C-alpha cells in the first residue's frame, strides 16, 4: 500500500508501526519525487527510489531517528537520486569500493570456505600466504602486479629453491583466479588479468625433475625385514600397508575401521586426492595384518586403523621410522617411494593400464573414449592386486621367479 504525504517530523511521528505479521506500508513524499518512507512492525525507514538503466531500484537511507531526521534524510535522498539519475546505483558503488580493497588474506580465507580443499592443500596455501607472501597478505589484490610477481618468484627460487617458488606462486595463482570470479563481474572486473600468468607467458616456471625413488628388487627383502622389527607396531603396519596398496600417505593414515570390510577383503577409501572414492581389494597378507590390528584395536577403541595419540588421532609422519630402517639397511626411501614401488611392480607384471590406473586412483584422460566403457569394480581389481602382492612377497622370500624384469 502506498500513500502520498509531505514527509515531515510531525507526519512521521503520527504514522503508526505496522501490526505484527502485516506487510510493510510505503509513504511517498509529495514534493521530492523518489523520496519515501517504509513502515514495518519494527521501524520507519527512509528510502530513495528511481529507475536505473530502465529497472526500478530502491536504496535504504536509514531508520527514523538520529541521525536520520526527515530533513537529513531528504538531503541524502537528493544526493542518491542524482547519482541514480546518472545510471549508477549507490549500493553497487559501495560494493565496488569494498571489492577494490579486498586483500590477499581476505580472498584466501573466503577461498578456503567456498572450495572443498584438502587439509594438506589448506596448510600449503596458508604457509604461502603467511610465510612467503606475508608482506602482501594485507594489501589489496590489485596492488600485486606482474612485475612484483616476477621479482618475488625469482627471489624465492634463489633463496628457497625452485620447488618452493613454484608451489608459492601456484597457490597465489589459485587464490587470484578465485577472487577474480568471486568478486568481479564482466562489466566491472576485479583485475584485468591474473598477474601470476606472467610466469607462463615468460616461461619462467621452474622445471623440477620427477623423483624416481623406489625400492629396488634386491632391497625389498632387507627393507621389509627391518620394518617388521620396528618397535612401533602401528608404524610398522602402516608402512607395510602403504607398500602393498600403493595408497597415498593421508589416504592410508586416515583409514577408519568403518572403511574396512574384512568379510569381503576390501577397504573403501573416501579421503582421496581427486575426491573419487576407491574400493580397493585386499591381498591375504593385508587381511591377516588387519585382523591382527583389529584384535589389538578392540582394547584401544580408536576409530582409526593406524591410531596415534596426536591431534588428528592417526599417524602423521613416519620419518623417524623410515630413518631407523635406512640406518639398519642402507635403503633410504620416502613414503611416496612406496607408492612408486607398488606401481613399478604392477607395471613389471604387464597389468592392464586401465586396471592400474584404477588401483592407484588415477583418472583417465577425458579424451580416452574406451576408458569410459570400462567398469573396474572391486572384484575386477582383485586378481591384479593379488598378483602385485605375490610379486612383492616372492621377491622378499627370494623366489627363483623375480617379479621385476
3-state helix, strand, coil in the chain (%, to 5): 50, 10, 35
The reported pLDDT for the residue numbered 375 is: 44
The reported pLDDT for the residue numbered 399 is: 44
Residue 147 CA, distance from chain mean position = 28
Alpha-carbon torsion angle 25, 30, 31, 33, nearest 10: 60
Cβ atoms within 10 Å, residue 374: 14
Give 273's contacts (C-beta < 8 A, 6+ positions apart).
118, 248, 251, 361
What are the tens digits of pLDDT across the range 80-131?
Answer: 898 888 777 766 556 556 667 788 999 999 999 888 788 888 999 999 999 9
* Same domain as 325, residue 302: yes
* Cell numbers found for residue 130: 603467511
The reported pLDDT for the residue numbered 99 is: 62
Q: Which residues of the chain have pLDDT under 50?
A: 369-375, 399-405
* Same domain as 362, residue 223: yes
| Domain ranges, residue 307 | 217-396
Asked if 390 and 382 touch (Cβ cutoff 8 Å), the reply is no
* Same domain as 369, residue 258: yes
Would residue 405 count as lying in a domain? no
Radius of gyration of the chain (CA): 32
- Report the DSSP beta bridge partners of residue 235: none
Name the domain boundary from 90, 110, 128.
90
* Same domain as 386, residue 348: yes
Name the domain boundary from 201, 225, 247.
201
- The rounded distance, in Å, linking the Cα atoms of 60 and 40 is 14
Strands 2-5 and 25-29: parallel
* Same domain as 35, residue 62: yes
Would residue 152 count as lying in a domain? yes
* Same domain as 314, residue 230: yes
* Same domain as 256, residue 380: yes
Dmax over CA atoms of the chain, in Å, equals 104
Name the domain boundary from 90, 124, 159.
90
What are the tens digits of pLDDT across the range 183-233?
Answer: 766 566 677 889 999 999 999 999 877 666 889 888 999 999 999 999 999
Would residue 157 count as lying in a domain? yes
- The rounded distance, in Å, linking the Cα atoms of 173 and 194 is 7
* Same domain as 148, residue 23: no
Alpha-carbon torsion angle 307, 313, 314, 319, nearest 10: -110
- The rounded distance, in Å, linking the Cα atoms of 252 and 114 is 26
* Same domain as 155, residue 298: no
- The rounded distance, in Å, linking the Cα atoms of 377 and 391 is 22
* Same domain as 372, residue 223: yes
- This prediction has a pTM of 0.59
* Same domain as 225, residue 113: no
DSSP SS3 for 81: helix
The reported pLDDT for the residue numbered 97 is: 62
Number of compact structural domains in the chain: 3
Tell me the CATH number at 306: 1.10.443.10
Q: How far apart are the first and last CA of the chain?
A: 86
* Same domain as 85, residue 59: yes
What are the tens digits of pLDDT across the range 301-317?
Answer: 789 999 998 888 999 88
Amino acid at each position: 500500500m502506498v500513500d502520498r504525504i509531505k514527509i515531515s517530523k510531525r507526519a512521521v511521528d503520527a504514522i503508526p508501526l505496522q501490526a505484527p505479521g502485516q506487510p510493510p506500508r510505503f509513504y511517498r513524499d509529495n514534493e521530492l519525487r523518489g523520496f519515501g518512507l517504509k513502515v514495518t512492525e519494527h521501524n520507519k525507514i527512509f528510502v530513495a527510489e528511481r529507475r536505473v538503466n530502465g529497472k526500478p531500484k530502491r536504496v535504504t537511507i536509514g531508520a527514523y531517528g538520529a541521525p536520520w531526521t526527515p530533513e537529513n534524510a531528504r538531503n541524502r535522498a537528493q544526493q542518491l537520486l542524482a547519482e541514480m539519475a546518472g545510471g549508477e546505483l549507490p549500493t553497487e558503488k559501495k560494493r565496488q569500493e569494498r571489492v577494490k580493497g579486498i586483500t590477499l588474506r581476505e580472498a584466501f580465507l573466503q577461498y578456503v570456505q567456498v572450495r572443498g580443499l584438502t587439509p594438506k592443500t589448506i596448510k600449503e596455501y596458508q604457509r604461502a600466504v603467511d610465510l612467503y607472501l606475508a608482506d602482501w597478505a594485507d594489501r589489496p589484490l590489485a596492488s600485486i602486479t606482474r612485475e612484483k610477481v616476477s621479482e618475488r618468484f625469482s627471489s624465492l627460487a634463489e633463496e628457497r629453491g625452485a620447488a618452493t617458488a613454484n608451489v608459492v606462486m601456484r597457490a597465489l595463482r589459485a587464490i587470484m583466479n578465485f577472487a577474480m570470479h568471486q568478486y568481479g563481474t564482466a562489466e566491472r572486473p576485479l583485475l584485468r588479468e591474473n598477474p601470476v600468468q606472467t610466469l607462463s607467458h615468460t616461461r619462467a616456471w621452474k622445471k623440477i625433475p620427477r623423483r624416481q625413488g623406489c625400492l629396488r628388487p634386491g632391497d625389498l627383502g632387507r627393507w621389509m625385514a627391518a620394518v617388521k622389527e620396528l618397535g612401533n607396531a602401528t608404524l610398522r603396519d602402516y608402512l607395510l600397508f602403504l607398500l602393498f596398496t600403493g595408497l597415498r600417505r593421508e589416504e592410508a593414515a586416515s583409514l577408519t575401521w568403518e572403511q574396512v570390510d574384512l568379510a569381503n577383503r576390501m577397504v573403501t577409501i573416501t579421503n582421496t586426492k581427486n575426491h573419487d572414492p576407491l574400493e580397493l581389494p585386499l591381498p591375504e597378507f593385508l587381511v591377516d595384518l588387519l585382523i591382527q590390528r583389529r584384535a589389538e584395536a578392540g582394547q584401544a577403541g580408536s576409530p582409526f586403523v593406524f591410531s596415534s595419540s596426536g591431534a588428528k588421532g592417526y599417524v602423521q609422519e613416519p620419518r623417524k621410522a623410515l630413518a631407523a630402517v635406512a640406518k639398519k639397511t642402507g635403503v633410504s626411501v620416502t613414503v611416496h617411494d612406496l607408492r612408486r614401488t607398488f606401481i613399478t611392480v604392477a607395471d613389471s607384471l604387464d597389468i592392464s593400464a586401465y586396471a592400474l590406473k584404477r588401483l592407484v586412483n588415477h583418472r583417465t584422460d577425458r579424451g580416452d573414449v574406451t576408458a569410459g566403457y570400462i567398469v573396474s569394480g572391486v572384484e575386477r581389481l582383485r586378481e591384479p592386486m593379488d598378483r602385485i602382492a605375490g610379486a612383492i612377497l616372492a621377491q622378499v622370500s627370494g623366489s627363483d621367479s623375480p617379479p621385476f624384469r
